[in-house]
Amino acid sequence: MGKRKVGALEKVDADLTNLQHKIRRDPSSYQDDFRNQYAQYDTFKSLFLENPASNPEVGVISFRDLVDFIAHVADCYPDLTARFPQDLVDILTLHHDKLEYELRDKLVGSLVLLRNKDVINSSILLNALFPILVSTNSKSLRALLFKKILSDLRSCNAKATDHRLNRTIQTVLYNLVTSDRASPKSVWAVKLTRELWKRQIWTDAKAVDIMKEASLTDNEKVVVGGVQFFLGGDQEREDAIEESDDDEDGIDVGRLKHQAGVNKKSKKQDRQLKKAAAMVRKKEKKKGKPHPLNFSALHLLHDPQSFAESLFHKHLQQQRKNKFALEHKLLVLNLVTRLTGLHRLTIEQLYSYLLKYLAPRQPSVTSFLAALAQATHPLVPPETLAPLVHKIATEFVSEASASEVAASGLNAIREVCSRQPLALEATLLQDLVQYRKSRDKSVVMAARALLSLYRDVGPEKLARKDRGRDAALAMRDGGGVERRFGEDDMAGVDGGIEGIELLAEWREAERKRRRREKGLPSDADSDEEGEKIGLSEEEEEEGWKNWDVESTDSDSSGGWIDVASDGGENFEISDSEDEKRAKKKARTTKEFEAEAKFGVTNGSALEAHDGGNSGPSDTQQTPVALSEREATLATNPAKRLSSLATTRILTPADLAKLHELRIQQSLQSHLPSSHKRHHAAPKRNGNNVGGLANRADDPVTAESIALPAHLGTKATKEEKIAAAKADRQEKHLGKEAKKRQRKREQGKSSTNKEKERQKNMIMMLGKARKKGKRPLGDVRKALKSGGKGGRKGR
């Protein structure tokens, strides 16, 4: 008898993985085997459908294994398995609540696998999974489905945005939210949208529309989800972007290359190196790309007026039907006021609604105060605000009330008045300013801040002696007149560009510098040159080409970039967005941050910071720059400069420069040394009343209202300790563990001793057993030596 040919599957019983492997290599030869298994799957499916709660696990094979197997090889036999995806979908849809959980997860996983193999398309998968996500009671299944749906949407949008799919899913979500406004199921629409927004997969108005509808539903949970999206969604997105950037910085290609040269060569190391190289290449590519233009959700809203109005009426005014918890009410209020301030909306009843919550006994009153400040903008009539300000003044600010209360009240009044200075009449203002003579430090600071605000925006309301030199001089010159109601800057919301004249000045200065370098007279009449003030044509093109490079380089090319910080002088750090990042990096004490935010200029804590910030090169450059700038100011009337925007197209590099200049200006305006220049320069630019400190776009938080209250108080010992420990790691490590960690961080291997200690117990069992059976003589020897030469810690 000849050698028997061994059949494909006789060697190993029930080895589906083996068969799967073989099928993948040669589908046509194993078609009959697959047919057998498919028939088996079919039979098992019938068995299973008789009692869906069970998992027919007979002998060695279970239904789960068969499903897994077929899903893995389905792409090899598309005609045989045509009905397979639909089978899975049907089983899941009909029985998902009864299924045994392992089988259920396997079914979901198999469907996703089929999608990844392009056996089914995304819309089939999502249409199958989403209804289950919404309807199921099982928490783990929901988590799984959510993850799968999200990852599928991500992978579909990875290479190019799949607009069609996005649109269908968005429509499904929108319908889910709007179809039944009372159901809590819409929470999933909110969650999904928020997650996709965070990952920048959905950045369009339709996604915002879903959230808008969610905020207007009747279910508290859904409403809170929608509102929180508007309040924090964009911040979350930015954080996610920053985080992902950080992740990629962690690779040190040089070191990896070195290691690959030194260490033993292995496939793993090869792979790691390749991966790192790919990552670096990707990063380089990313650098060349322009920054994605992301609009914030608040700006993408269609018709914010009606949205804010209906939010206010539905969730705040008519609270009979569904009473929200206070914190949720506060969230809604926060959104409504944020919208009001940002889009300058008019909601009359909002202010009278706020009136009743402005009492020191009201829980979380600082949030209400912050909401009031947020809702204030230059177009709110002063007579609407006056009663509110009056109430704050009477209820909060008095010698009898606690210092924190008074300070918070004063700060709230300041925040309101910085947005609408007309809200406070002269007598009340003069009264409040008197509090700077109070005994309590926090109240003093709050009152001083109010005073300095009005020195800027309305000095004639102050008593003569309180005006200060600058304001008095300005008044004498005919400036410092308070703006009337409804009067607006050119550079307000209506078309003007904030700080455009700064850019024009800078361009002029650059031009002069160039001419001087070439040896031409710097003042060759600029009138003649007319249009081509500033940079030459080539420069212009450069500005369009790789503008990102220019914007990063401009720090070194510009003459007078860094803030002058003459020794011992203080300046106020503005609270603008641009500053926040810098602040984050520079470790400052809590007090310093607080003062900087609050805008008090006499803090001695600032001095320490000053020294660190100024480099020697800066101090050399600045005088020249300043004189130059003054010269340009003298020669060029501001009016002609501001025509810059109308005569030429600004390049992205120009815009970046403009941004930089604006920050600089806001910093310089608070330098005491620049007092004289201050009078000549146009004092108020755009809507930054009192510097860029308070921009209408930025939210006012309860913390910022309560901030001055904490200024006077000394930190307790615990707080100090906590602050000192803040950036250290919490987990305590022993000496050995620390050493080991350090070694690992350096990329060094463990010692032999350590390896021996960490050896698997099973491996050591034989040795241990032998140890007990040693001959007596050996034992005696070992005892005599007293553990000499043995390992430490034995």
Nearer to other proteins, 280 or 402 (CB): 402
Contact window for other proteins (CB under 8 A) among 14-22, 98-106, 456-464, 536-544 = 14-22
Which span (58-66, 190-198, 265-273, 662-670) binds other proteins, by CB under 8 A?
58-66
13 near other proteins, judged by CB under 8 A:
yes
Using the rule CB under 8 A, give the single segment among 12-20, 542-550, 592-600, 683-691 that binds other proteins.
12-20
Tokens, residue 513: 């510098």
The stretches of 586-615 forming alpha helices (DSSP H) are 590-598, 605-613
User: Which position among 49, 379, 650, 656 is part of the footprint of other proteins (CB under 8 A)?
Assistant: 49
14 binds other proteins (CB under 8 A): yes
- Per DSSP, the three-state class of 742 is helix
**Which of 663, 684, 597 is CA-nearest to residue 415?**
597
Residue 767 burial class via C-beta count within 10 angstroms: exposed 0-12, middle 13-18, buried 19 and up: exposed
CB 63, min distance to other proteins, A: 10
Q: Write out the two tokens for 39.
A: 């028939």
Within 186-252, residue ranges assigned H as helices are 186-198, 205-215, 220-249
**Which residues have C-beta within 8 Å of that of residue 599, sequence separation ≥ 6?**
449, 452, 572, 575, 690, 691, 693
Sequence letter at residue 508? E
Residue 55 lies near other proteins (rule: CB under 8 A):
no
Exactly one of 125, 169, 354, 365 binds other proteins (CB under 8 A); which one? 365
Question: Which of the ranges 39-47, 183-191, 557-565, 593-601 carries the binding residues for other proteins, by CB under 8 A?
Answer: 39-47
Does 61 contact other proteins by CB under 8 A? Answer: yes
The two structure tokens encoding residue 20: 């799967």
Under the binding rule (CB under 8 A), the answer on residue 79 touching other proteins is no
Residue whose C-alpha is closest to residue 317's, from 360, 351, 363: 351
If binding is defined by CB under 8 A, does position 59 make contact with other proteins?
A: yes
Closest CA to 417 of 442, 443, 380, 445: 380
100 binding other proteins? (CB under 8 A): no
Q: How many angstroms separate the CA atoms of 35 and 81, rounded?
A: 10
Q: Does 619 bind other proteins (CB under 8 A)?
A: no
DSSP β-bridge partners for residue 58: 61
Residue 531 binds other proteins, judged by CB under 8 A: no
The conformational region for residue 534 under phi > 0 = left, psi -120 to 50 = alpha, else beta, is left
Query: Is residue 1 within the footprint of other proteins (CB under 8 A)?
Result: yes
Rounded to 10 deg, the angle between the 652-668 and 577-585 helix axes is 70
DSSP 8-state assignment for residue 5: P
> 61 — phi, psi (to 5°)?
-110, 140
Nearer to other proteins, 54 or 601 (CB): 54
* DSSP helix/strand/coil, 57: strand
H or E element at residue 62: strand 61-62
One character per residue 680-719, x = contact with other proteins (rule: CB under 8 A): ----------------------x--xx--x----------
Q: Does the protein bind other proteins through residue 47 (CB under 8 A)?
A: yes
693 and 590 in contact (C-beta within 8 Å)? Answer: no
How many helices (H) and strands (E) the chain has is answered by 41, 2
**Structure tokens, 136:** 């199921």
> Applying CB under 8 A, does 404 fall inside the site for other proteins?
yes
How many Å apart are CA 344 and CA 696, to the nearest integer?
9
Nearer of residues 65 and 542 to other proteins, judged by Cβ = 65
Closer CB to other proteins, 229 or 396, in the complex: 396
Distance of CA 394 to the CA centre of its chain: 39
Smallest gap from residue 15 Cβ to other proteins (A): 7
Q: Which of 157, 166, 228, 408 binds other proteins (CB under 8 A)?
A: 408
Minimal distance in Å, beta carbon 522 to other proteins?
A: 58
Q: Is 36 in the site for other proteins (CB under 8 A)?
A: yes
Closer Cβ to other proteins, 89 or 301, answer by number: 89
Are 96 and 108 a contacting pair, CB within 8 Å?
no
Confirm or reject binding of residue 432 to other proteins (CB under 8 A): no
Q: For residue 677, report the phi and psi dihedrals to the nearest 5 degrees.
A: -60, -30
Nearest to 598 by CA among 376, 389, 440, 448: 448
Residue of the chain from 131, 360, 387, 652 that contacts other proteins (CB under 8 A): 360
Residue count of the chain, please give it.
Answer: 794
Q: Which residues, 6+ apart, have CB-to-CB distance to 439 below 8 Å?
A: none
Contact flag: residue 453 with other proteins (CB under 8 A): no
Q: Strands (DSSP E) along 430-476, which ranges?
A: none
**HSE toward the beta carbon, residue 650, CA cutoff 13 A:** 19
400 binds other proteins (CB under 8 A): no
Span of 3-11, 158-166, 258-266, 728-736 interacting with other proteins by CB under 8 A? 3-11
Closer of 259 and 401 to other proteins (Cβ)? 401
Smaller CB distance to other proteins: residue 297 or 709?
709
For residue 527, the 8-state DSSP code is H
Interaction between residue 720 and other proteins (CB under 8 A): no
- Chain Cα centroid distance, residue 408: 28
Nearer to other proteins, 40 or 601 (CB): 40
Residues 6+ apart with CB under 8 A from 491: 497, 498, 499, 500, 685, 686, 687
Whether the CB-CB separation of 400 and 387 falls below 8 Å is answered with no
Q: Is 58 in the site for other proteins (CB under 8 A)?
A: yes
Based on the shown chain and the rule CB under 8 A, indicate whether residue 359 belongs to the binding site for other proteins. no
According to the binding rule CB under 8 A, does residue 721 interact with other proteins? no
Stretch that binds other proteins, among 10-18, 420-428, 468-476, 520-528 (CB under 8 A): 10-18
94 or 463: CB nearest other proteins: 94
Is position 402 an interface residue for other proteins (rule: CB under 8 A)? yes
> Which residues sit opposite 62 in a β-bridge?
57
- Answer for which of 55, 56, 72, 217 binds other proteins (CB under 8 A) is 56
Read off the tokens for 181.
């406004």
- Closest to other proteins by CB, 18 vs 643, is 18
- Candidates 32, 246, 531, 727; binder of other proteins (CB under 8 A) is 32
| 463 binds other proteins, rule: CB under 8 A | no
CA distance 170 to 432: 53
- What minimum distance in Å lies between the beta carbon of 605 and other proteins? 23
Minimal distance, residue 33 CB to other proteins, in Å: 9
CB of 710 to other proteins, least distance (A): 9
Residue 61 C-beta: closest distance to other proteins, Å = 7
From 227-235, 366-374, 564-572, 605-613, give the range in contact with other proteins by CB under 8 A: 366-374
- Total site size for other proteins, rule CB under 8 A: 44
Stretch that binds other proteins, among 43-51, 294-302, 550-558, 661-669 (CB under 8 A): 43-51
Identified binder of other proteins from the candidate list 17, 21, 26, 35, rule CB under 8 A: 35
If one asks whether residue 103 binds other proteins (CB under 8 A), the answer comes out as no
**9 touches other proteins (CB under 8 A):** yes
Rule CB under 8 A: which residues touch other proteins?
1, 4-5, 7, 9-10, 13-16, 19, 32, 35-37, 39-40, 42-44, 46-47, 49-50, 56, 58-61, 360, 363-367, 369, 402, 404-405, 408, 702, 705-706, 709
